[in-house]
Amino acid sequence: MKKEFEKRILSSFIIIPIALFFVIKGSTFFIFFLSIFFLASSYEWLKMTKKNLIKIFGILYLCLTFYSAFLLRNEAGLNFFIFIIIICIFTDIGGYIFGKTFKGPKLTKISPNKTYSGVLGSFIISVMAASIFSQYQKSFTLFEIYILNNNDLSYILIILLISAISQIGDLIISYFKRLAKIKNTGNLLPGHGGLLDRIDGIIFVIPLSYLLFIYLKKRKKKLQYLDQPVLLEKH
């Protein structure tokens, strides 16, 4: 367990900076990055699933996910995109730390390692991490630009929603792994398993985050329209 954890930390220090490089560079670099991720995750999905219909549905969904990631990065901007990814990453970290530390009742038979304490930890750590990121990104005012008129409750609820979707995505992939009677979707990432093991929550969060962005953008335009002064016609 200790060696696996050390591998996980070491590989994270290598993988995260590389991923950030491609995300920050954007443009062709980001398209290349998404293409590699799509091919690797598609391979793992095809290898893991048995029924052709499920294989096809999964590949189509992955197409939707990575296309949504491209749109989200380009239209919503770098900070918005990183904000979403941070919530997913720290949802995973919070669940792992709290689950291992406090243990407690199991959440579901689908994923025996998931506990209620892990779920709570996922929510707590993701809110803390996202709030810190927002605080130090002066150019990033997600809930001022797109939303909620500095409504702190709405801010937290959206983070919790994204975190919850990430955890549901984790359980969905765990369900298919259980059907296939495998522990990991692959062995591409030392200490982590396969690529799908690491992005299982993200692939469900990204499409919904893009829809959220579209909604918030429309809300912003509506608020701007309502704030415009009404000009009275002279008779």
CB atoms within 10 A of CB 47: 14
Kindly state the average pLDDT of the residues 140-165.
69
pLDDT of 232 above 50: no
Structure-block tokens of residue 83? 């904000």
pLDDT of 8 above 80: no
Give CA angle at 68 (45, 137), nearest 5°.
115
Kindly state the average pLDDT of the residues 148-157.
67
pLDDT tens column, 84-99: 999 999 999 999 899 9
Cβ within 8 Å of residue 96, ≥6 positions away:
118
pLDDT tens column, 160-213: 999 999 999 999 999 999 999 998 998 888 767 899 999 999 999 999 999 988
Return the SS3 of 115: strand
Q: How far apart are CA 90 and CA 170, in angstroms?
A: 13
Cβ within 8 Å of residue 23, ≥6 positions away:
30, 33, 73, 78, 81, 82, 85
Bridge partners, 189 (sequence order): 193
Question: DSSP states of 61-112 as a string?
Answer: HHHHHHHHHHHIIIII-HHHHHHHHHHHHHHHHHHHHHHHHH--SBS-SSST
> Which range has the top average pLDDT, 61-65, 216-220, 226-230?
61-65
Burial of 150 (0-12, 13-18, 19+ CB in 10 A): exposed
Q: What is the sign, positive or negative, of the torsion defined by CA atoms of 187, 172, 126, 78?
A: positive
> What is the reported pLDDT for 210?
94
Q: What pTM was estimated for this model as a whole?
A: 0.86
Among residues of the chain, what percentage have pLDDT more than 70? Answer: 83
Residue 47's pLDDT band, with cuts at 50, 70 and 90, is very high
Name the average pLDDT for the chain: 84
In terms of Cα–Cα distance, which of 18, 135, 28 is closest to 73? Answer: 28
In terms of Cα–Cα distance, which of 77, 91, 78 is closest to 130? Answer: 91
> Which range has the top average pLDDT, 31-40, 71-80, 187-196?
31-40
